[in-house]
Amino acid sequence: MFALADSAAQPPAAPAAPLSLAAIVAAHGSVLVLDPCTIHVQAGVLRSGRSPLWHSGGDDSSIHLFAAAAHCLRAADLTPGRVGAYVFCEGPGSQLGIRTAAMALRTWQALRPAPAPVFAYRSLLVAALAHARHQAGPFAVVADARRDSWHAVRVAADGTASPVLRVARAELAEWPEPLFAPAGFRAWAQPPRPAGTCDYDCAAMFAGLGELPLLHAVAEPEPWLSAPITYKTWTGERHRAATV
């Protein structure tokens, strides 16, 4: 005989503390990084005690994500199924690229005898903290979220950064700090006021930020959404001719 625990009485599990990329590499020996957020897909292989290997591909994530990953894995004499852990950028950024990366990770996980840990990070937070290394705050790093809204990370004068926010265009226009957009991000609209450009180069960003706890474990790789997806419903009616 056994009894099921009362799930309502169990407190929800606290989310695991964020980790640094350096800590993940040290714990798992080798890590495959996929960042498909920009028009130039980026991939990297990081190994304990070895120089990192990075490669940037072209603008078709369905092709160049795998080409960039294969380039790094070949140089490291590894395969996707032999790396110790996976890391990917869950957004904001190219939804097609992020979904392609999530699909690749799920496939590689299914082909392994035992799945490997997967960790994710947010593009704008990494870009903002990297930019803060040589740009004094306050400033904000922004990316088009469509539907007349923007994703943004605000960096204060002391260098601390907000989480990734989603704000309406009108609200963003009222922010007093300078705006910067990461290089290579696709945009369907211009910011509400002029914005500079900040770099988005994974090799350079993580060379400076590798010790910061910016990554969190994920059970299933999938794109990060700042708001739930909503659909408009339509109820069809048969056309009826007007009575003559």
Segment among 2-6, 183-187, 192-196 with least mean pLDDT: 2-6
The answer to whether residue 11 scores a pLDDT higher than 60 is no
Percent of the chain with pLDDT over 90: 80
Q: How many CA atoms lie within 13 A of 134 on its CB side?
A: 7
The answer to whether residue 42 scores a pLDDT higher than 70 is yes
Record the tokens describing residue 181, joined without a space. Answer: 């957009």
pLDDT in tens, 137-167: 999 999 999 889 999 999 999 999 999 999 9
- The domain made up of 16-122+200-217 has a fold known as Nucleotidyltransferase; domain 5 (3.30.420)
Record the tokens describing residue 226, joined without a space. Answer: 């700042």
Angstrom distance (rounded) from CA 242 to CA 158: 69
How sure is the predictor about 225, in pLDDT bands with cuts at 50, 70 and 90? confident
Q: What is the model's pTM?
A: 0.87
Q: Where are the domains of the chain?
A: 16-122+200-217, 125-198
Write a three-state SS string for the chain: CCCCCCHHHCCCCCCCCCEEHHHHHHHHCEEEEEECCCCCCEEEEEECCCCCEEEECCCCHHHHHHHHHHHHHHHCCCCHHHCCEEEEEEECCCHHHHHHHHHHHHHHHHHCCCCCCEEEEEHHHHHHHHHCCCCCCCEEEEEEEECCEEEEEEECCCCCECCCEEEEHHHHHHCCCCEEEECCCCCCCCCCCCCEEECCCHHHHHHHHCCCEEEEECCCCCCCCCCCCCCCCCCCCCCCCCCC
Phi, psi of 219 (to 5 degrees): -75, -40
